[in-house]
Structure 1
Amino acid sequence: MRGFGRSDAGRIVIVTLAAVVAAAVLVCDIVAGAHRLIGAVQAAVPHETPLVIAHRGDSRDPENSLRAIHDAGEIGADYAEIDVRLTSDGVPVVFHDRQTGRLDAGGRNLLVSRTPLSKLQRMRMRQKGIDYRVPTLRQALNEAHDAPSKLGLLLDIKTDDRHAHHVARAVINEIERDRNRMPAKLMVMSVSREAVVTFKRLRPQWKIGLCASGNPMLTGWVPAPVARAERGMFERRGNKRGGKRGDDTGMSGTIRGDMGVVHRYGVVGSTTLPADFVVMRSHDITANLWRAARRQHMPMFVGAVNDYREARTWIRRGASGFLGEDVANLRRASDRYALA
């Protein structure tokens, strides 16, 4: 049996040092991983109480009506989301669809953009067994301003890129026509990237957002290869239009504007969109889109959320607010976060 030599002692020292180095590296990796995990959790938690936004006002009332706006504040919403279009004589009115057929009590199906305000307001709309008239944006602003709850308004500007500048100017002029009657809280969004750019250029201090509901690739956050892979999944879901209130926010084709060429499932030659927030339907949000929003620290408002548990799940993921019709459930989820 060979004795224990000096060379053996050297080998033991080397092995021991290697083991110590490996252990130190492992500890460093564990610590770094823990820091990354803590950072990810912290980044996912919203810094403020998530906003509760009543989709087209109180769902018990006719959509986009003055009554729906008033009651949204009464039931605890932070904002009422309303849709804005221009009449043929350039007056901003609160109406969702391009045509009047779904809501007109007389069955007339007129294009809002080709109908003067005087004629449109003579038409009787009906929903939920209640008759009402199409309000102007000015009437909606006054309703929100006078609400005891200090209700805010989220304006969904209905336009395409071609008319975005004209529509934005008309909306801004209407809002600022009487600055003393502006709501305490106001946000603006649109599916038109050109409208987002125009509003932000003209009123940089306003909160302007991109409405990517029904068309999440408008964000341009997903690289083209990933967008193509997700396209099949998105189409298999059907990108179905139509919700409880006849949603028609789906878009197709190509949009050209200041931001480059925006395709339905990706962006070519686009720069960063100067938006303050993004609105997206919950069933359209992929893991890649959500991660991209988190990386950019972009506030995300999740649409068509009415279930308490679903709202709590999105809060844990970092949602900044919700659009929905069950305001009571959303209010409960948001308030529970604020008290935690």
Structure 2
Amino acid sequence: MRRLNASGRRGVFAIVAVVLVAAMLVCDVAVGLGRLIDVAHSGANGTAPAVIAHRGDARAPENSLAAIRGADAIGADYAEIDIRLTADGEPVVFHDRATGRLSAAGRNVIVSRTRLRQLQRMTMRQNGQNYRIPTLYQALRAAQGTRGHLGLLLHVKTDDRHARTVADTVIRSVEAARFTNNLMIMSTSREALVVFKQREPNWRIGLCASGEPQLTGWDIRDLRTRLLDRLARGGRTGRGGRSGGKHGGDGADGGGTHGDVARGGDWNGHELPMDFVVVRAREATRTFLREARRHDVPVYVGAVNDARTARSFIKQGAAGFLGEDVEQLRRAAGEYALA
């Protein structure tokens, strides 16, 4: 083979360099498009989905200080804990209305009718471990002391009638603990959402709609049902038609512009604030997630405990998951972050 002279070699090198640069540009464009597609699918504005340990680390007693510390150790972004008021108005971390399921001695007293001192004298037991019911303040301090600065999702258990009292006590505990970690608050009480947002407009306040997705005020009926509904009422299927609910248009088939329904519609004369919503896995249907995207409201799905299900919800736009198998959820979220 004839050897190339110096000029020829320089020409070959130049061609190779151009080809390599072009290949790198193509790869960059492909990666960029992939990330854009991921962002379009994400309900968390392109961030990795949040992993929330349901009632803390499942290896420890639920809602205990050990469960909170353990949630950080196993890689959760947040621990979800339940908040109730005692008879003397102290917020404690306990899921059930009464103590019977967890009381080591089998004592069954109603939390809201028992004073804090009495509750904390009782021994609770789960997963072979004894523990005491912690106050919200103790839980906040435990999360603050974790290496990963674990966030907390507070599930505030209240009805509308007591929403203002409960909100005030929760806010006082957060302020007393000077909690600077990530904080989210949710409740099934829509009055509580309004009160919390009035008191603390910069906090992330969400609706716990588990078992009751209609609390959102969104039209989450099946698309076919809505179309038949409209045809039965005169065939108004064009833009701006109503779906029959007092909360506004339907959104999935062009009935009403974005913003016709503000977050969750009216609640006692107020706009219902929802920075996020939590629903059960079976309620996180494509229709529901589509409505959530229309209202720009992130959706957290629970309980999810396997990576395959988590991946499916990520593709549909879920912002995160509540579950007990944090390792599985962490794996799915990590795959998204590396995509």
Q: Deviations over 1:120-154 (max 9, x none)?
A: 00001011111110000011000000001110000
Asked if the contact 1:144–1:183 (Cα under 8 Å) also holds between the matched residues in 2, the reply is no
Between the aligned partners of 1:160 and 1:334, the Cα distance in structure 2 is 34
Asked if the contact 1:43–1:294 (Cα under 8 Å) also holds between the matched residues in 2, the reply is no
Aligned equivalent of 2:195: 198
Aligned equivalent of 1:18: none
Q: Does 1:210 align with 2:201?
A: no
Asked if the contact 1:44–1:294 (Cα under 8 Å) also holds between the matched residues in 2, the reply is no
**C-alpha displacement of 1:285:** 2.3
Between the aligned partners of 2:305 and 2:115, the Cα distance in structure 1 is 36
Aligned equivalent of 1:338: 337
Structure 2 portions without partners, runs of 5+: 1-35, 227-264
Inter-CA distance 160–281: structure 2 relative to 1 (3 Å threshold): same
Paired residue type of 1:186? L
Q: Does 1:61 align with 2:60?
A: yes
Paired residue type of 1:322? F
Q: What secondary structure sits across from 2:125 in the alignment? A: strand
Q: What secondary structure sits across from 1:177 in the alignment? A: helix
Asked if the contact 1:304–1:324 (Cα under 8 Å) also holds between the matched residues in 2, the reply is yes
**C-alpha displacement of 1:42:** 5.3
Paired residue type of 2:98? Q
Aligned equivalent of 2:183: 186
Between the aligned partners of 2:76 and 2:333, the Cα distance in structure 1 is 11
Aligned equivalent of 2:325: 326
Inter-CA distance 270–44: structure 2 relative to 1 (3 Å threshold): farther
Between the aligned partners of 2:286 and 2:319, the Cα distance in structure 1 is 17
Aligned equivalent of 1:274: 273
What root-mean-square deviation, in Å, do the aligned CA atoms of Structure 1 and Structure 2 show?
A: 2.3
Asked if the contact 2:80–2:155 (Cα under 8 Å) also holds between the matched residues in 1, the reply is yes
Asked if the contact 2:141–2:177 (Cα under 8 Å) also holds between the matched residues in 1, the reply is no
Q: What secondary structure sits across from 1:214 in the alignment? A: coil
Between the aligned partners of 2:37 and 2:287, the Cα distance in structure 1 is 15
**C-alpha displacement of 1:94:** 0.1
Q: Does 1:44 align with 2:41?
A: yes
Asked if the contact 1:49–1:334 (Cα under 8 Å) also holds between the matched residues in 2, the reply is yes
Asked if the contact 2:48–2:333 (Cα under 8 Å) also holds between the matched residues in 1, the reply is yes
Aligned equivalent of 1:289: 288
Asked if the contact 2:155–2:186 (Cα under 8 Å) also holds between the matched residues in 1, the reply is yes
**C-alpha displacement of 1:40:** 9.1
Q: Deviations over 1:72-110 (max 9, x none)?
A: 000000000000000000000000001111101111111
Between the aligned partners of 1:149 and 1:185, the Cα distance in structure 2 is 11
Aligned equivalent of 1:135: 134
Between the aligned partners of 2:275 and 2:267, the Cα distance in structure 1 is 22
Q: Does 1:91 align with 2:90?
A: yes
**C-alpha displacement of 1:178:** 3.6
Inter-CA distance 137–337: structure 2 relative to 1 (3 Å threshold): same
Inter-CA distance 97–169: structure 2 relative to 1 (3 Å threshold): same
Matches within 5 A, 1:28-177: 43-45=40-42, 46=44, 47-177=46-176
Between the aligned partners of 1:279 and 1:290, the Cα distance in structure 2 is 11
Tell me the TM-score normalized by structure 2: 0.74
Stretches (4+) displaced over 3 A: 39-43, 266-272
Paired residue type of 2:90? V
**C-alpha displacement of 1:267:** 8.5
**C-alpha displacement of 1:43:** 3.5
Matched length? 264
Between the aligned partners of 2:109 and 2:338, the Cα distance in structure 1 is 48
Q: Deviations over 1:189-233 (max 9, x none)?
A: 10111101110110000011001011111111017x769x79xxx
Matches within 5 A, 1:251-266: none
Q: What secondary structure sits across from 1:323 in the alignment? A: strand
Between the aligned partners of 1:40 and 1:308, the Cα distance in structure 2 is 20
Aligned equivalent of 1:260: none
Tell me the TM-score normalized by structure 1: 0.73
Asked if the contact 1:142–1:183 (Cα under 8 Å) also holds between the matched residues in 2, the reply is no
